[in-house]
Copies of this chain bind each other. A is one copy, B any other.
Amino acid sequence: MSVPTIATVAELAGVSTATVSRALQRPDKVQPETRRRVLEAVAATGFVPNSQARNLRSRATRTVILLVRDISNPFYLEIYKGVEEAAMRAGYKVLMGDARDDDERITHYVDMVRARHADGLILMVGRFPEALKTELSRLPPIVIALETFPELVLPTVSIDNIAAARQAVEHLLELGHRRIAHITGPLPERLAVDRLAGYRSGLAAAGITADEALIVEGDFSLDAGRKAVRRLNETGTSFTALFAASDQMAFGAISELRACGLSVPGDVSVVGFDDIVLADAFVPPLTTIHQPRFDIGRQAMARMIGLLGKEPAAANLVMETRLVVRGSTAPVRQHPHPNPRTKE
Shortest CB distance A230–B (Å): 14
Task: List chain B residues, Cβ under 8 A from A278.
Answer: 222, 248, 251, 278
Interface size for chain A: under 10, 10 to 19, 20 to 34, or 35 or more residues?
35 or more
Interface centre among A52, A80, A116, A278, by most B CB within 10 Å? A52
> Known contacts A112-B93, A252-B281: does B74 contact A72 (CB below 8 Å)?
yes
- What number of copies of this chain does the assembly contain? 2
Inter-subunit contact B77/A81 (CB<8 Å): no
Interface centre among A77, A135, A280, by most B CB within 10 Å? A77
User: Is A153 positioned at the interface, with any CB of B under 8 Å from its CB?
Assistant: no
Instruction: Give A79-116 interface residues, CB cut-off 8 Å to B.
Output: 80-81, 84, 93, 95-96, 98, 111-112, 114-116
**Contact stretch, chosen from A53-61, A231-239, A303-311, A333-341:** A53-61
Task: List chain B residues, Cβ under 8 A from A179.
Answer: none
Task: List chain B residues, Cβ under 8 A from A74.
Answer: 72, 74, 77
Contact of A80 among B71, B248, B280 (CB under 8 A): B71
User: Is A8 positioned at the interface, with any CB of B under 8 Å from its CB?
Assistant: no
Task: List chain B residues, Cβ under 8 A from A255.
Answer: 280-283, 285
Q: Can you identify 18 A-B contacts, CB atoms within 8 angstroms?
A: A46-B135, A50-B56, A50-B115, A50-B116, A51-B117, A52-B52, A52-B56, A71-B77, A71-B80, A71-B81, A74-B77, A81-B98, A248-B278, A251-B281, A252-B281, A254-B281, A255-B280, A283-B284
